[in-house]
Chains A and B, each alone.
Chain A
Amino acid sequence: MIKIRELEKWFGNLHVLKGINLDVNPREVVVIIGASGSGKSTLLRCINFLEKFQKGTVEIDGKVIEKNNEKMINEMRIHVGMVFQHFNLFPHMTVLQNVIEGPTQVKGIPKKDAIKMGRYYLEKVGLLEKENSYPSMLSGGQKQRVAIARALAMEPSVILFDEPTSALDPELVGEVLSVIKDLAKEGMTMVVVTHEMGFAREVADRVIYMDDGIIVEEGCPNKIFDEPKMQRTQDFLSQIW
């Protein structure tokens, strides 16, 4: 579904991604862990071209995305949902309007059908009763669940999560993680960047440990968390557990 090959990215002189190869298969949940500055968020943002990279290719659903082809990138983004650390809900729209904005404006779905769909996904994240609220009236956890519903309403084939719980108060993390876990159970393909190790272990089919712009180690959660092979992985895990 996603094939990343030899991806390299510089921010000015800073070499942040140094040749990344990564495949994400349908119905797979890939969790990327690593210290701040390891390049994990940048890698995620390269997948849907929010970040431009200098070398390498990203292939999505069998198509190599051309970095200067705006039309192709927009088309690809319809199938690749994204959930941000800071939610980025549209503050001038109600919860329901936030959720139907993509379907109506990008996919051209008639408003009536979009509203039906939007309510279905709001129900799914447990926030149907907030459909007429504005984002400023919601808690952080509720905002992030709306953001997830907004991504879902596009009916994407994969969703990227960029540290979805890092901006939340500790007591609100659980409600967001449980929504993501439900999606995993339903077989949604997801790539998740997170610092929540317990969650990573529970939800991931495969864990990627990144450090200093490279993938140091990858494998199933038990392998990475219980018997990491690389010294760097061991050091990182011993610091955070």
Chain B
Amino acid sequence: MYYDFSAIVKYFPFFLPAAWMTIQVTVVGILLGVVLGLLTSFSRISENSLFNIPAKIYIYIIRGTPLLLQLLFIYFGLRSVFGFKAFTSATLGLGIHNGAYIAEIFRGAIQSIAVGQMEAARSLGMTYYKAMRRIILPQAFKRAIPPLGNQFIIALKDSSLASAITINELLLKSQQLASSNYRMMEMLTIAAMFYLFYTSIFTWLFNKIETKLAVSGSR
């Protein structure tokens, strides 16, 4: 067995649909995760137990079980109830999973803003919600950017687990092709190249955002 570089060139085009699928699953999953994460972090810091207890339970369950299990659970379990397709199950699973982590990222960022900021805003007569929106959240978002970028990269790589529920993304594609051409190492290399390409874009994008935010008002 030798490593055949020509196989990489030859099979590269076959990966394009799978690469597109990986992007779709990741982006939809992340968007869902951000929305869920925001809502959950607000519920989590609320003093009303009607909000904070469900948020705690959600985070407890999701962080305490593997993503692969969650995907299988949604795919086999909820599919029969709601009739989800594989793509819906994958994005929902990834979204719910990332929502729990993103909620904790936002919560940490919000709580890292000094109490004095809230006090100063309230002493001007602002309501709690206005103080949150105008004073706390703009500062918290800035602090959430680095860990958020990290989480997005994790989400991208975690999308490979969707291969277990028949999503034809990069990893599943590499294994399918390898089972017919016996070029496992080369196929995995192609998948790895795509992942590296995507993570590079994420990293570059987040560095850009960080520098931009650092310029406009610092601390």
Residues of A in contact with B (beta carbons under 8 Å apart): 48, 50, 70, 74-75, 77-78, 80-82, 84, 86, 88-94, 101-102, 105-107, 134, 136, 150, 154
Contact, CB under 8 Å: A84 / B120: yes
Indicate if the CB atoms of B125 and A78 lie closer than 8 Å: yes
* Contact for B120 among A75, A90, A106, A134, CB less than 8 A: A90
Of B131-139, B168-176, B189-197, the stretch lying at the interface with chain A is: B131-139
Q: Is there an interface contact between A50 and B217, defined as CB atoms closer than 8 Å? A: no
**Beta-carbon contact of A74 and B126 below 8 Å:** yes
CB distance from B104 to the nearest CB of A (A): 23
- Which B residues are closer than 8 A to A by beta carbons? 114, 116-117, 119-128, 130, 134-135, 138-139, 142, 216-219
The minimal Cβ–Cβ distance linking B56 to chain A, given in whole angstroms, is: 25
- B125 A74 Cβ-Cβ under 8 A: yes
Q: How far is the CB of B80 from chain A (nearest CB, A)?
A: 48
B217 touches A92 (CB 8 A): yes
| B139 and A91 form a contact (CB under 8 A) | yes
Q: Inside 8 A of A102's CB, which chain B residues have their CB? A: 124-126
> Inside 8 A of B120's CB, which chain A residues have their CB?
82, 84, 88-90
Residues of B within 8 A of A75 (CB): 125
CB within 8 Å: A-B pair count? 69
Inter-chain contacts of A81 with B (CB < 8 A)? 123
Question: Which of A92, A93, A106 touches B125 (beta carbons < 8 Å)?
Answer: A106
A80 to chain B, nearest CB (A): 8
Known contacts A84-B120, A88-B119, A101-B134: does B218 contact A136 (CB below 8 Å)?
A: yes
Q: How close is B175's CB to chain A, nearest CB, in angstroms?
A: 48
A77-B138 CB under 8 A given contacts A86-B116, A91-B218, A134-B218: no
Tell me the complex Cα distance, A76–B139, Å.
27
B140 → chain A closest CB, angstroms: 10
Q: How far is the CA of A227 from the CA of B139 in the complex (A)?
A: 50
**B123, B134, B218 — most chain A CB neighbours (10 Å):** B123
Query: B116 contacts A88, CB within 8 Å?
Result: yes
Q: Which residues of B contact A88 (CB under 8 A)?
A: 114, 116-117, 119-120
A146 shortest CB reach to chain B, Å: 12
Given contacts A88-B120, A106-B125, is CB(A136)–CB(B219) below 8 Å?
A: yes
Other-chain residue from A91, A92, A101, A136 in contact with B124 (beta carbon distance below 8 A): A101
